[in-house]
Amino acid sequence: MSFLGDKPVHRIGFGAMQLAGPGVFGPPADPDAARAVLRRAIELGVDHIDTSQYYGPDVVNELIREALHPYPDNLRLVTKVGAERDAEGGWNAAAEPHQLKAAVHENLRSLGVERMDLVNLRRFERDNPDVQEPALEDQLAALAELRDAGDIDLIGVSSVRPQTVRVAIDLVGIGEVQNPFSILDRSDAPVLELCREHGVSFVPYFPLGSAFGGGGPRALAADPQVSAVAEKHRVTPSQVALAWLLAQYDRLLLIPGTSSVAHLEQNMAVIDIELDADDLKALEGVQPVQVGH
């Protein structure tokens, strides 16, 4: 067990993004299969689901509600705001304070809940630093107002640089940071270290490395250190990469996503992989893929 803010959770949750159609847009080809994955996740002990109203949009939240409502008492639902989709499936910023508030209310509506356990403010400073964004202080103030009103329990930040993490901790206190991090892309190690210093949960996305940046399961399988450790434990290279992440910080929480029950079960089995000191030393030799920001 670990913690999401002050909430005890299992260390492996579920990222629901892949339940939407191609490009995270529109419905999946088999909605029944998507709902089956969600139900199986709960059976396997998942008590932390990461989603967003703009996955689909609406589609993923509605699948979650259809499959799981009324929700188990211990299920923590986490969403993110700061973006929206256009009619063609494009991603656009929607991060003005009034837009953030509206998006939180849309998540409450589509999930059928009165309060979100955590809402991440999705910024673009890390991915596209040239984009002009609303003032961070104003964005955090809007989310803090919703927290005071009881619509949000915890605030988080996503896709951010270290200075934003510091400001968010100082201004509103945060429950998590959600940034890319993997054995193949450790460029956000300073953000992870900040989380360690302040006891903030860290939730990596692209936990196998981004396929866009030369990572992913294929790159992991091609790495000799990862393959050797995988063979030793009789698991897959991807499972080794997830187990390595768990070994980095006791408040690091995984939310691997999938639309397959078999793959879900494989991801959940990672909690039973015990990497020893020799494994971790060998894996330190993995050459990171430096992804440009």
User: Can you give the CATH number for the domain in which 47 is found?
Assistant: 3.20.20.100
Find all residues with CB under 8 Å of 99, minimum gap 6, and list them.
Answer: 81, 84
Residue 171 lies in a domain: yes
User: Which structure tokens are listed for 273?
Assistant: 């992989």
Residue 109 lies in a domain: yes
Helix axis angle for 136-149 and 97-111, nearest 10°, is: 40
Query: Mean pLDDT in the chain?
Result: 96
Residue 288 lies in a domain: no
Residue 116 lies in a domain: yes
Q: How many domains does the chain have?
A: 1
φ, ψ dihedrals at 156, nearest 5°: -130, 175
Q: Is residue 55 flagged as an active site residue?
A: yes
Q: Residue 49 is inside which H or E element, if any? A: strand 48-50
Residue 180 lies in a domain: yes
Per DSSP, the chain holds a count of helices (H) and strands (E) of 11, 11
Contact 118, 5 (CB under 8 A): yes
pLDDT digits (tens, 9 = 90+) for 24-51: 999 999 999 999 999 999 999 999 999 9
Q: How far apart are alpha carbons 31 and 26 in whole angstroms?
A: 11
Residue 260 lies in a domain: no
Question: Per this entry, what is the length of the chain?
Answer: 293
% of the chain residues with pLDDT over 90: 94
**CB-based burial of residue 278 (10 Å sphere; 0-12 exposed, 13-18 middle, 19+ buried)?**
exposed
pLDDT digits (tens, 9 = 90+) for 181-200: 999 999 999 999 999 999 99
Residue 232 lies in a domain: no
Phi-psi region of 89 (alpha: psi -120 to 50; beta: other; left: phi over 0): left
Q: Give the domain range for residue 7.
A: 2-207
Q: Is 176 helix (H, G, I), strand (E, B) or coil?
A: strand
Residue 258 lies in a domain: no
pLDDT digits (tens, 9 = 90+) for 221-254: 999 999 999 999 999 999 999 999 999 999 999 9
% of the chain residues with pLDDT over 70: 99
Catalytic residue selected from 54, 55, 205, 249: 55
